[in-house]
Chains A and B, each alone.
Chain A
């Protein structure tokens, strides 16, 4: 006679798994940290998503505030260019994806990352590199991202942003 495990692991039994939606979409905030990433995020934002919203950090457009600076309340802009309240966006996020291009200045990661840390919101860092990226360029970007990203991905293709967000049901 088959054991319980043997019977339950069969293809026959797989047909009886309960069919229902076992999760609801998570709120995912995707933030571009530099100009090349902004173009990439802009493109990805045009695809249909469940509950993902897309922003650009204002760090590369102006001064970098400190995490306790009141100006961080208006420190994101959405794809249409409207200023958004960073804290409010993070407060409603399940996790935040920060997108940077290797070699670009990813200083915005510290403000966003610290705000996420303070609110215990998971951050994923995604660094897109090209074959021309030097080690020094990558190091500079990593040094901004590492302290704040729970998971860091260094991808060689721009398509990974869409792939990852799809896999995460964004």
Chain B
């Protein structure tokens, strides 16, 4: 349960809000690189943290994220002509470079220097891996570039997708650290999904349906461990790292790729659910990559030409009551991602947490909210850099390991929980 003011604090991410400032401390995924595929390609409208922006790639391949609207009469520059290192407004020809600097006002003499006096708000946009990242905070406080492993491995080892989720970011993110729902909502998928099935770890899951949870703080956020009984008195642990503000990794299964997510606010009622799969030491197979493209695992199929899931609230998520009755899917909705999204969107655009009744297994969520609020306040009141900004906090992995019964998993699986280039993930 949260008080209303706490819920407001955590869910509002527009400019000048506490949580908005927190998000503006990080490099965030803004677009897939495929959305700006070539120099002078069409610009893309982007809304992030309640700001309407335009992503552009100029004639020299430079990326930029600028205010969507022309400073002259407020026209959307999405209609602009992307030409000769700038985007030109089609209304009266004003032209801007990727930093938002106006470089031409055709109605005014060049000698007047008027163009130099016009500058649109802009943010840096950089390509790392398959993703274009932006930093929307103060320019003099720009953090080091992101070092998430999924974005740094060679391209053949990684696959990233994004989907529109029509809910506030927090209820989406909380699903990622709520390990206890997996035994219900996704129970139909463990043995059928091509990106999950076939691991020994699945047997531990199925043999022990009442895992015990252990939440441990770590410098960048949390580890959430789910413990099940293994052989000879040992424990099978599935360990999910959460790094602030909204990054999670799903513990691996067998030699399947590692799955993970970012949840990035579009505005207070919508977010981008970023989903990626990567393998630290080998290329994804053709079958694995095709399964991801086909919407298996944590990915989705799309409404053609969009990043909106094909199963969405407008078609009742293609609810299949026969599959629900037969147990093929637990909820009647197909696919892990939309099983989550359908329920999270049903909470309403912004979940009212004053009415919820949390239980013991919700401690991961309770602790994550606590850490977020604490960091947002420390940033607002004392300018303290929040956890997760430091690239060291980003060098984490999820792990599935069998350990002796008395060991703290954070220490016992210390090596497994950090990025080790060239070393495979710890998995069962």
Instruction: Tell me, yes or no, whether A118 is within 8 Å of chain B by CB.
Output: no
Residues of B contacting A86 in the complex (Cβ-Cβ under 8 angstroms):
none
Please give, as numbers and ranges, the residues of chain B lying within 8 Å of A163 by CB-CB distance.
366, 370
Contact of A146 among B216, B314, B406 (CB under 8 A): B406
Additional A-B contacts beyond A146-B212, A154-B408 (4; CB < 8 A): A2-B314, A150-B360, A151-B214, A152-B212
Q: Which residues does chain A contribute within 8 Å of B44, judged by CB atoms?
A: none
Closest chain-B Cβ to A128's Cβ sits at a distance in Å of 11
Q: Which residue of A lies closest to B3 (CB)?
A: A166
The reply to whether A9 and B346 contact each other, CB–CB distance below 8 Å, is yes
Q: A154–B214 contact, CB under 8 A? A: yes
Q: Which of B324-379 contact A (CB under 8 A)?
A: 342, 345-346, 348-350, 352, 355, 357-363, 366-367, 369-370
Contacts of B411 in A (CB 8 A): 135, 138
A:2-29 near B, CB below 8 Å: 2-6, 8-11, 13-14, 17, 22-23
Asked if B138 is at the interface of the complex by the 8 Å CB criterion, the answer is no
Q: Does B214 lie within 8 Å of A153, measured CB to CB?
A: yes
Taking CB atoms, residues of chain B closer than 8 Å to A4 are 316
Give 1 or 0 for each of B71-105: 1 = CB within 8 Å of chain A CB.
Answer: 00000000000000000000000000000000000
Interface band, chain B: 35 or more
25 pairs, A vs B, C-beta closer than 8 Å: A3-B315, A6-B314, A9-B167, A9-B313, A14-B348, A14-B350, A122-B360, A138-B408, A139-B407, A142-B407, A149-B212, A150-B360, A151-B212, A151-B213, A152-B212, A152-B215, A153-B215, A154-B217, A160-B367, A163-B370, A164-B363, A167-B366, A168-B1, A168-B359, A169-B1
Chain B neighbourhood of A167, CB < 8 A: 1-2, 358, 362, 366, 369
A72 to chain B, nearest CB (A): 23
Interface of B is mostly: mixed
- The residue that B214 contacts in the complex, of A8, A152, A169, with Cβ under 8 A, is A152
Q: Do B352 and A17 touch (CB < 8 A)? A: yes
> Bound complex: CA of A151 vs CA of B225, how far in Å?
10
Q: Which B positions have Cβ atoms within 8 angstroms of A? A: 1-2, 166-167, 212-217, 269, 313-317, 342, 345-346, 348-350, 352, 355, 357-363, 366-367, 369-370, 405-408, 410-411
A95 on the B face (CB < 8 A): yes
Report the interface size class on chain A.
35 or more
Asked whether, in the complex, the Cβ of B314 is within 8 Å of the Cβ of A153, the reply is no
Contact B217 A156 (CB under 8 A): yes
Q: Is the CB of A146 within 8 A of B405?
A: yes
A44 within 8 A of B: no
Which residues from chain B contact A154 at a C-beta distance below 8 Å? 214-217, 408, 410
- Does A52 make an interface contact (CB < 8 A)? no
The answer to whether B349 touches A11, judged by C-beta atoms less than 8 angstroms apart, is yes
Instruction: Tell me whether A11 and B360 are in contact (CB under 8 A).
Output: no
The yes or no answer to A120 lying at the interface (CB within 8 A) is: no
With CB as the reference atom, state the residue of chain B lying closest to A15. Answer: B348
Interface positions, chain A 106-147, Cβ under 8 Å from B, are 122, 124, 135, 138-139, 142-143, 146
